[in-house]
Structure 1
Amino acid sequence: MTAAPSGPRDPERDPQRVPAHAHGFELGCDGPSTLVVGIDGSDTGWRAMYYAVGQARRQRSRVVAVYAERQTPLMATPTMVPIVDGEADEKFRRSLAATVAELGEEFGVATELVVLAADPVVALLQVAEQVRADAIVVGASEQTGHKLFGSVAVRTVKTGHRPVTVVP
């Protein structure tokens, strides 16, 4: 039997130390129970959804898909008219909801769709906090401008407090 070293412990290396923010809810304590995935109808968004559903099936968890609806742009006129095609937007939302539900049924995973009118990163982080998600899954950006200004994936990694998986 070896004696434990005496003297002061390094608090950063102390296995008994529990960070103050870890009290209460513990991310991923028994594997993921809820995954939040960003979807937007793009190929990478659907790949992220399939990845999340596959992981949820294997881990016996649920998937909350988040669609961040665009903010209503305004056309500069004397009366500031919103530029919106409400019928097309509603049709797209129904299509997303149906596909998310079908994927859940096909793979035996509880799924739901949350639609928010917000910046995608804000929407993902807000929903992840509300449902106490263990992780966030997003598709990689295919837009060249995001290399300069930051994609949803990069911004989520930088500003979130949960593991983020980026699906190519």
Structure 2
Amino acid sequence: MGPSTILVGVDGSTSSLRAAAYAAGLARRQGSRLVAVYVRTPPSALLPLADTGGVAATVIDTQDAVEQELRTAFAERVGDLDARLVVRNGEPYAELCDTAREVQADVVVVGRSAALLHRVAGSIGHKLVRCGRWPVTVVP
């Protein structure tokens, strides 16, 4: 008997899309429900004060584009799977944990971080593993 609910974090990066494909395949094989979570990170409150080049608007436009791409890909590729896409605003780790609790996830799947700083300070995958509430799969 496999997991009944699989949660996957997606952000449009290559590794998160690999994680989504892995999670969808696992959900299909196990007959599980799939919940994909995209977390929009709001620009810093101080950014508009120093923003002379429209960076805040660019960040929001980029997030809008990523969300639309995810919605389109999700609608086209889900097929017969029991799946849904959840879009949240906030800090990715906190929102993934909150959503995993809400949907009673049995497994959390995320992509490996490509940022050098995350290798030093810790990525979302590492934080989820240290949290110890769910089995976590980090997809390269």
TM range (shorter): 0.7 to 0.9
Task: Check 1:153–1:72 CA distance in 2 against 1; reply closer, same or farther (3 A cut).
Answer: same
SS of 1:83 mapped into structure 2: helix
Q: Which residue of 1 aligns with 2:121?
A: 149
Equivalent position amino acid for 2:112 in 1: A
Q: Which residue of 1 aligns with 2:72?
A: 98
User: Which whole-Å deviations, capped at 9, do the CAs of 1:46-93 have from their partners, x for residues lacking one?
Assistant: 00000000000000012111111112222325xxx9823444433321
Shift of 1:136: 0.3
Q: 2:56 aligns with which of 83, 101, 122?
A: 83
Given the alignment of the two structures, is residue 54 of structure 1 paired with residue 43 of structure 2, yes or no?
no
Question: Is 2:6–2:108's contact at 8 Å kept on the other side of the alignment?
Answer: yes
SS of 1:76 mapped into structure 2: helix
SS of 1:141 mapped into structure 2: coil
Unaligned runs of 5+ in 2: none
SS of 2:78 mapped into structure 1: helix
The 5 A counterparts of 1:17-28 are none
Aligned residue pairs: how many?
134
Q: Which has the higher relative contact order, 1 or 2, with Cα contacts under 8 A spaced 6 or more apart?
A: 2
TM-score normalised by L of structure 2: 0.87
Question: Is 2:9–2:16's contact at 8 Å kept on the other side of the alignment?
Answer: yes
Q: Which residue of 2 aligns with 1:65?
A: 36
Question: Is 2:8–2:108's contact at 8 Å kept on the other side of the alignment?
Answer: yes
SS of 2:18 mapped into structure 1: helix
Unaligned runs of 5+ in 1: 1-29
SS of 1:154 mapped into structure 2: helix
Q: Which residue of 1 aligns with 2:91?
A: 119
Identity %: 39
TM-score normalised by L of structure 1: 0.73
SS of 1:75 mapped into structure 2: helix
Task: Check 1:82–1:130 CA distance in 2 against 1; reply closer, same or farther (3 A cut).
Answer: farther
Could you say which structure has the larger radius of gyration?
Answer: 1
Cα RMSD, aligned residues only: 1.8
